[in-house]
Chains A and B, each alone.
Chain A
Amino acid sequence: MAVRSRLALLGSLSSLGSPGSLGSPGSLGSPRRGWRSLSLFSGPSPSSWSKVVSDAEKIVGYPTSFMSLRCLLSDELSNVAMHVRKLVGTKHPLLNTARGFVYDSKHNLQMRGLVVLLMSKAAGRSGSASDALLPDMISGIYPSQRSLAEITELIHTAFLVHRGIVNLKEWTFSDGTLKDMQFGNKMAVLSGDFLLANACTGLAQLNNTKVVELISSAIGDLVQGVYYENSNSAEEGKLSVASWEDQVFLSHGALLAKSCQAAMELARHDAEAQTLAYEYGKHLALAHKLNSDLQPFMKSGSDPVVFSLDSAPAVFHRQIVGHEIWTHQLQQAQNSTTQMDYSKLWTGIRSGGGVKQAVDLCTQHGNTALEAIRRFPPSEARSALENIASAVTRF
C-alpha cells in the first residue's frame, strides 16, 4: 500500500466522528479513561499551551507528531485501521482511541517524547571519556535519544490501546453485539502488542542493557498502575491520598520519569543528572495529572460536568469529609436513576476543600519539577522544560 493511501486511511479514522462527541463520555468507563489520558497535556488554556509546545518542538528540531510514523505506516497497523472501520457504530473503546491517535498527533500532543528530547538537549554532552565514542548529535540530541523518545510514545500508545480492552461478560446486548466487542478486543490486543513489540526491538537497538531494564520496568509499572484504574476502590473509599499518588505515579509518572533518566544514561551522564531527570519527569507527570483532574472543577457552574471518582479532587474530598458523608453524598447523587448525577456531586466537592488541596499538590509537584530542571545549565531547552512545568500549574 502506498504511503499516501495509508495516510488517507488513517486520516479517515479521524473523520469517523467529530472529536466533539468525545466530550460527553459519561456512559462508558473505559473509553472515557482512554480519551482523558489522550488529552492529558491539553489541560491548560489551549492557545498558550500550544505555543509552549510549538516553541519547544522548534528547539528539538523535530515535529514530534511524526515520531511514530514508521509504526503508523506499517502493514500491520494499516490492516488494523481497515478493520477498525468495521467498528463504526459500535461502542468499542478502540474506536475512540484510534480516532484520538490521529487527532492526538495532529495536535502535537505527543508530549512524553517531546519532554525526553528537550531533556536530552538540556543535558547536552556528558564530557566523560566515553562521550567520544558516541555518534554525532543532531540539533544537540543523540540519535539514540531520539529513538528513546519514539519508544516512550510507542509504549504510552500501546497502553492507551490495551486500557480499552473490554470485559465481554460485562456487556449486555444493548451495548452492542458481543461479536463487535470480540472483534474490537482482538484488534486492540493485536495493535497494542504490535506497538509494544516495536518498542522492544527499538530498545534492543539502543545497545544499552541498563536502558532496556529501566524502560522494561516502566512497562511493568504502567501495567500495575493501569490494572487498578478501573477497580472499585474509589466507591469503597479505600483510596487514600498517599495511595492515590502511588498509583498515579505508576500509571502516569513512571514512564516519563524513567524515560528521562534513560535519556541521561544514553549520553553517559552521571548518576546525579540521571536522578534530576527522573525527578523532573516524575513530578511533571504528577502535576499534569492533577491539572487535568482539576479541569472539570475549574469550569463555571452552567456547563455539564463529568469527572472520574478516582480523580484527585474527588479522592481528596472523600478524605476530608470522611467515608460516611461521602457514601451519603454518593447515594444522594445516585438515588433516582442508575445514572450518576454528577452535577450534584460536583457542587459538593467544589464547596469542600478537596479542590484546593489538589491545586496545592499540583503546585508543589510543579515546583519540585522546576527545582530539578534548574540544576541543569541554562539553555533554551531548559527554558522550554521550565515553561512546560509552569504551564501545568496554571489554571
Chain B
Amino acid sequence: MAAQWRRCWRGHGAVTGVVDAVCGVTAGARGPGAGCLTKEVLLPVRNTHNSIRPSTFTRFRSGFLHPAARSCCCRIHSDAKLKDPFSLAQEDLKNLYEDIKKQLLVSKTELKALCDYYFDGKGKAFRPMIVVLMARACNIHSNRDGGLLPAQRSIAMISEMIHTASLVHDDVIDGADMRRGKNTINEVWGERKAILAGDFILSAASMALARIGNTTVVSVLSQVIEDLVRGEFMQLGSKENENERFKHYLEKTFKKTASLIANSCKAVSILVNSDPEVHEIAYQYGRNVGIAFQLVDDVLDFTSCANQLGKPSAADLRLGLATGPVLFACQQFPELHSMIMRRFGSDGDVDRAWRYVLESDGVEQTSFLAQRYCHEATRQISRLQPSPERDALIRLTELVLNRDK
C-alpha cells in the first residue's frame, strides 16, 4: 500500500521529495487505516483535473474528523483517555505572561508599553503549551518525578518571547495593521519603534536563555533565531521549477514556524535527559507538528474566511506568497504558474488565483499533507513512555488539524 501511495504522488512530480521525507520514516508504522485514507484522497488527483468534487472532499474531511480511527492506526492504547492539552498545561502556564513582562526590564514607559503590548494574555500560548507538555513527558520518560524544572519553564517563556519578537517584525515587513483583534505596534507607534521593540524582546529572551546556564540549550535556541530570519529571506524569492518550489516552500515553513517548536522541544528534553535519541524524538515531534500547524494555517487563509465572512481574504496571495494550496492547484491549473512568478502582482491576479485554488483540490491536498506530518509527529512521540502529557501531545496533533481559526 505504501508503494501505491508513493506512486500516486510521484505522478505529480512536485511533491515527491516531500512524500519521501514524510513517508520514508513513517512507512513501517502506518496501519491499514492510513492506507485507505490515502487511497481515497489521492485517487481523484490522478483522474481528474478541472472540477470540484464535493464527494471526495466530504470523504476526505470525514477521514480526519474522526481522530479515534487514526489513533488506532498509530497504536495508541484506545483505553487511555486522551487529555485535553490546554487544561493539562494550564497549571504550568499560570502567570506566564506576567513572568515574561518581568523579563522586559525597561525604565522608559513608552518602550515598556510597546514591549508588553502582545503579552496581554490574549494569545493562545500555543508554543509554551507544547513546551511544558513535552518537558513533563520527557521528565516522566526519564523517570524523574516532581514537576517542571524551572529551566524548562523558562524555555516555555522564551519560546513565546522569540515568537512574539518575530511577529512584531513580520508585521512591519508585511505592512500589517491588525493582529489578534488589535492594531499592530507599527500601526500605532510607527515602524521604527516597532522594530526596536522587537529587538528588545529578542535581547530579553536571549538574556533569559543565557541565565539558564546551559551552553547546549543556548546553541539550540540561537539556531531558531537564525532560521526565522533565513525563512523570511526565503519568502522573498520564488523558484521557477515546480519541484524546487515545493521544496523551497516546505523548507521555508520549517524555518519560519517549525524550527522554534522543534528546537524548544529539544531544549527541554536536553535539560532532563542526556540521551540523544530522546532529544531527537522531542525535536521530530516539534518539527512535524510545527510544519502541520503552518500548513493548516495556509489552508485556513483560503477556507476560514470563505466560510465565515463569505468573501475572499487570501492574505498570503495579497502578500505575493504562494502557499501549499496554490502550489498544489498549480499542478492542475498551469495558468497559475505565471501568476506565482509575478507574485500575484497584476490586476485581478489575487481573485483569479483564489478561484483556481478553490476549484482545484489544493486545499484538500494541503490538509492531507498536514495530516501526514501529524501522523509522523504522533509516531515519534509514541516512542516515549506513556504519560498523560505524552497523550495530550498526541491529542494536540488532532487539534492542530481540526482548528478553524
Contacts and interface: CB of A to CB of B under 8 A. Distances in A.
Most-contacted residue by chain B among A165, A166, A170 (CB, 10 A):
A165
Interface residues of B, number: 43
Interface string B244-282: 000000000000000000000000000000000000000
A contact patch SS: helix
Interface residues of A, number: 45
Interface in A160-211: 162, 165-170, 182, 185-186, 189-190, 192-194, 196-198, 200-201, 203-205, 207-210
Given A165-B195, A189-B173, A227-B196, A212 B229 contact: no
Given A167-B192, A200-B225, A224 B218 contact: no
Interface string A70-95: 00000110010001000000000000
20 contacts: A75-B233, A76-B233, A159-B199, A162-B196, A186-B173, A189-B195, A190-B233, A197-B226, A200-B226, A201-B225, A209-B211, A209-B212, A212-B206, A216-B207, A216-B209, A219-B203, A219-B206, A223-B197, A223-B199, A227-B111
B203 A216 contact: yes
Given A207-B215, A220-B204, A167 B106 contact: no
Given A189-B173, A194-B233, A227-B196, 11 more contacts: A166-B192, A168-B190, A182-B175, A196-B225, A200-B225, A201-B222, A201-B225, A216-B207, A220-B200, A223-B199, A224-B108
A224 B111 contact: yes
Given A212-B206, A212-B210, A223 B200 contact: yes
A186 B197 CA distance: 16
A217 interface: yes
A79 B237 CA distance: 10
A292 B243 CA distance: 55
B192 A217 contact: no
B169 interface: yes
A174 B192 CA distance: 20
B3 interface: no
A79 B233 contact: yes
Contacts of B193: 167, 227
Contacts of A217: 203, 207
B172 interface: yes
Contacts of A193: 169, 228-229, 232
A228 interface: yes
A89 to B, nearest CB: 21
Interface string B214-230: 11001100110110111
A220 B175 contact: no
A376 B232 CA distance: 46
B59 to A, nearest CB: 43
B191 interface: yes
Contacts of B233: 75-76, 79, 190, 194
Closest 5 CB pairs of A and B: A167-B190, A213-B210, A204-B222, A216-B206, A212-B210
A380 to B, nearest CB: 34
A224 B210 CA distance: 20
A159 B192 CA distance: 11
B309 interface: no
A189 B176 CA distance: 14
Contacts of A227: 108, 111, 193, 196
A162 B169 CA distance: 11
A75 B209 CA distance: 28
B236 interface: yes
A307 to B, nearest CB: 22
Interface in B272-326: none
A198 B226 contact: yes
Contacts of A196: 199, 202, 225, 229
B213 interface: yes
Nearest to B190: A167
B218 A204 contact: yes
A219 B173 CA distance: 21
Contacts of B190: 167-170
Contacts of A213: 207, 210-211
Most-contacted residue by chain B among A76, A204, A226, A230 (CB, 10 A):
A204
A203 B107 CA distance: 26
Given A213-B207, A217-B203, A197 B195 contact: no
B215 A209 contact: yes
Contacts of A212: 206, 209-210, 218
Nearest to B104: A220
Contacts of A75: 233
A348 B210 CA distance: 50
Most-contacted residue by chain B among A169, A194, A216 (CB, 10 A):
A216
B111 to A, nearest CB: 5
B210 A189 contact: no
B226 A201 contact: yes
A224 B222 contact: no
A76 B230 contact: yes
A358 to B, nearest CB: 25
A233 to B, nearest CB: 11
Interface string A147-168: 0000000000001001001111
B206 A168 contact: no
Most-contacted residue by chain A among B173, B197, B212 (CB, 10 A):
B173
A54 to B, nearest CB: 33
Contact of B232 (A190, A203, A207, A216): A190
Contacts of B226: 197-198, 200-201
Nearest to A186: B173
Contacts of A224: 106-108, 111, 200
A57 B241 CA distance: 48
A168 B199 CA distance: 19
Contacts of A167: 190-193
B251 to A, nearest CB: 13
Contacts of A190: 173, 229, 232-233, 236
B29 to A, nearest CB: 34
A212 B232 CA distance: 25
Contact of A168 (B169, B191, B203): B191
Contact of A165 (B172, B209, B236, B237): B172
A223 B203 contact: yes
A186 to B, nearest CB: 5
A141 B68 CA distance: 62
Contacts of A186: 172-173
B222 A203 contact: yes
